[in-house]
Every structure is written in C-alpha cells, then in structure tokens.
Structure 1
Amino acid sequence: MRRIENATSRQVSFFKRRNGLLKKACELSVLCDAEVAVIIFSTTGKLYEFSSTSMKETIERYRRHPRDIQAKNPPVEQNMQHLQHEMASLMENIQRLESSNRKLLGEGLESCTHEELLELDQQLERSISSIRTRKIQVFRQQTEQLKERGTTLTAENALLRDKLSLQQERGSNEERAIEPSADTTEVSDVETNLFIGPPETSQKRALQKSYIGE
C-alpha cells in the first residue's frame, strides 16, 4: 500500500474511504454500545469528525485515561513494598506459631511468665480432654463393630452347624441303605458249591454234609 499519485484519484478515494470509515464508526457505537470519536483532516486542512456522544467529552476522557490507568494500576515499586510487608507479616506469624508449638511440647519455657504458663496448662487440659473424648468415641465404634462381627460369626457358625448335621444325617441314611438285609444273609448261606451230575446227586451230597456237620 502506498500513496496515490494521481490527485483526482486520490481525492475520490479519500471521499469513499472517509464515508466508509464514518459509517463503520457509527455502526460500532450502535451495535457495541461503545463511545466512538473520529477526527479526519483532509490534505486541504478541512475537518471531518464523528462522535457517538460529545467530541469534547470524549477528548477529555481520552486525556484523563493515562492518569486513570496509573491510579488503578499502582507502580511496581508499590506492589513490591506491599508484597514485602505481607511476607514479613507471614514470617512473624510462622515464628509465633513455632514458638507456641515448642512451648506446648515443653520447650523454651524459661521466658514464660506465670500467666503464660497457666494459659499453656489450660490449653493442654483442653487438648487432653478432646483427645480422651475422641478416644472414647473410637473405642465405642470399635466395640460396636466387634459386636456386629460377633453376631455375624454366630449366625455363620449356626448355618455351618446345620449344614454339618444335614450331611451327617444323609450319611447315616446312606449307610443304612448299604447294610445287607436278613434275606440277603439267608441267601448267602445257601450252598454255592458246584456239582456236576443230576439234581438228585447234589441233593444227596447236601444231606450227607448236613449229617456230618451234626
């Protein structure tokens, strides 16, 4: 982009671009609710301007703007001083807490007055009371948990005992079913020897054995 050399073309382009710029400024102020001010001087020194409110008020606001920024954003030195002050305050608090902690542990009590020692004694009593209260709560909770566990184990034990009794009963029934009956015993006493020959011969031999046995 460079300057238009032809004066006529340059003048025509100025009017077109000027009107477009003023139109865009007006649209920006309306659509975005912005305070817009445009000042244009032609090559002949003629002034063209647009302001959404008041050109004078906008210019005064522009002149005050650097001072407003400086008031809202303090210099870096002031920020550093503020940070240093906060850091010193935090370090002081840390040292005080560390000293109080050492005193609660029984260290560095030489510089304590009688009132400070009484205050430490009261703090320790309150701490011990809180610890004992919490210990009792934990003990009760554990006792309740053990009772619930004992009840659960008792129920499980009873269930296992019932299962064992049922299995033993089933085993006894099976053993009874396996035992031979009297008829089976009598049948087992029947002569099982094998005889070759007519049935009458086998019967005679059986009678002979019975006589011999008597």
Structure 2
Amino acid sequence: MVRGKIEIKKIENRTSRQITFSKRRNGLFKKAHELSVLCDAQVAAIVFSQSGRLYEFSSSEMEKTIERYGKFSPDYFVSGRPQEELYLLELKKEMDIMVKKIDLLEVHQRKLMGQGLGSCSLAQLQGLDTQIEKSLRIIRSRKAELYADQLLKLKEKERELLDQRRRLREEEIRETLVRPMLPVTLHTGKDETGSACRMSKHSSEVETDLFIGFPVTRL
C-alpha cells in the first residue's frame, strides 16, 4: 500500500507535534551521519525544540565545524569571531573607558572639596581656585534670583492682603450707611374719659415748708 503525501504545515495537536519532532529529529541526524560516512563530509546539525532545548549532531568537533563555517560566512563572522562576541568586546572596552572617566571625576571632585591636594602642583591649585570662584559666582547669581522671586511673591501677597482689607472696610461702611433706624414710639397717658393727659412741670407741687408744732389743717 502506498502512503499518501503529508501536507507540510504546523501540527496543531501538541502531543502529535512532539512525537513528530522526535521522529523527524532522529531521522535528520541519521541522514546527516549517513552523509558524513558515505561522502566523507564534515556535517553538523543544530536543532532547538519549541521549548528551547538544544539538540545537535556533528561528524567532528562542533567548534571546529563552526569555525570553519565562519571562514566562508563573513556576514556572521569577522576575523574568525562571531559578531555577537565582537559586540560584547566593544561593550567591555566602552565600559572600561567609562569606569576610568568616573574615577577621574571622583578624584577631581575630592580635590574641589579640599581633599587629596598633596599631589597637586601650583598650576593645578590655581586652576581649582579659578573653577571654584566661577562656581561660586554662578551659585550666588542663582541665589540672588531666588531671593528676588521670593521678594516679588511677598509683595504680591501684601498687595492682595491690602486689597482684601480695603474691600472689607468698604463693606463695613456700606452696611453702616444702609442700616435702618429703629422707630421711636411715644406713649401718651389717658384718663377715664378717654382724654389725653399731659404732664406738666407745674401739675404737681411738692411742699417743702417746715412747720413747728401741731399740724394745722389747711383749707
């Protein structure tokens, strides 16, 4: 019975895919081995599974095969070394340069702080003096700017307070002017007949005469 052709596409079933990978990988390595033996060829095969596991086959040492491959593939290898390795070497060189620069900056900073000046010459000390004076001018200028900004803010705050005080004073004066006058009620007394009785300073008199003896009845 003739086996039908298998459509080449990704196997969706995970179990079937793993079984097929194992079988095909073993078949590939078997064919590579046969090719190296039958044809006296130097063969190497590298396979990474979907999970990232490495499988390899080489008819001789893998490193020698890769090195030999690099001689015929200048895009991947430069001077017999992979580009990734050369890139790492360049990064290491740059890192060493940055470390040296940082060390020099730290030494210079200590000198600016007055430390480690024993090895400085007169010219170096003069240079440090000039740099410090320049830094002080910049710091003082910035300090003056901050003081000016604070003074301006305080003046604005004072002006706001004065305006608020003036508005409050105007409101107090306005309330005083429009405050209503309390009504004054005049009370008048009335006699039994309903006629108004007016008080007079002569309506009643108080006797202040002093009598000695028995009281006399006055008519």
TM-score (norm 1): 0.53
- The aligned counterpart of 1:144 is 152
User: Higher helix fraction: Structure 1 or Structure 2?
Assistant: 1
Summarize the Cα distance change of 1:212–1:144 in structure 2 as closer, same or farther, 3 Å threshold. Answer: closer
- The aligned counterpart of 1:15 is none
Q: In the TM superposition, what is the alpha-carbon distance from 1:78 to its structure 2 partner?
A: 2.8
1:115 and 2:123 are equivalent in the alignment: yes
**Take 1:70 and 1:178, find their aligned partners in 2: how far apart are those partners?**
108
Gaps (5+ residues) in structure 1?
6-63
1:5-37: per-residue Cα shift (whole Å, max 9, x none)?
9xxxxxxxxxxxxxxxxxxxxxxxxxxxxxxxx
Q: In the TM superposition, what is the alpha-carbon distance from 1:178 to its structure 2 partner?
A: 1.3
Q: In the TM superposition, what is the alpha-carbon distance from 1:4 to its structure 2 partner?
A: 6.9
* 1:66 aligned counterpart, secondary structure: coil
- The aligned counterpart of 2:189 is 190
- Which stretch shows the higher mean deviation, 146-155 or 69-78? 69-78
Are the aligned partners of 2:112 and 2:128 in contact in 1 as well (CA < 8 Å)?
yes
1:36-88: per-residue Cα shift (whole Å, max 9, x none)?
xxxxxxxxxxxxxxxxxxxxxxxxxxxx9823332498444433332221121
Are the aligned partners of 2:76 and 2:83 in contact in 1 as well (CA < 8 Å)?
no
Q: In the TM superposition, what is the alpha-carbon distance from 1:120 to its structure 2 partner?
A: 0.6
Summarize the Cα distance change of 1:84–1:124 in structure 2 as closer, same or farther, 3 Å threshold. Answer: same
1:87-130: per-residue Cα shift (whole Å, max 9, x none)?
21111011111111111111111111111111110110000000
Summarize the Cα distance change of 1:149–1:211 in structure 2 as closer, same or farther, 3 Å threshold. Answer: closer
**Take 2:78 and 2:3, find their aligned partners in 1: how far apart are those partners?**
42
Count of aligned pairs between the two proteins: 135
Aligned pair partner of 1:90 in 98, 105, 115: 98
**Take 2:119 and 2:141, find their aligned partners in 1: how far apart are those partners?**
32
Aligned pair partner of 1:169 in 177, 186, 202: 177
Q: How does 1:1-214 map to 2 (within 5 A)?
A: 66-71=73-78, 74-171=82-179, 174=180, 177-180=181-184, 184-185=185-186, 188-191=187-190, 195=192, 199=193, 213-214=204-205
* 1:119 aligned counterpart, secondary structure: helix
Q: What is the identity, as a one-letter code, of the residue corresponding to 2:73?
A: P
Q: What is the identity, as a one-letter code, of the residue corresponding to 2:74?
A: R
Gaps (5+ residues) in structure 2?
6-70, 206-219
Q: What is the identity, as a one-letter code, of the residue corresponding to 2:204?
A: G
Q: What is the identity, as a one-letter code, of the residue corresponding to 1:66?
A: S
Say what the alpha-carbon RMSD is for the aligned residues.
3.3
- The aligned counterpart of 2:210 is none
- The aligned counterpart of 1:35 is none
Identity across matched positions, percent: 27
**Take 2:163 and 2:140, find their aligned partners in 1: how far apart are those partners?**
35
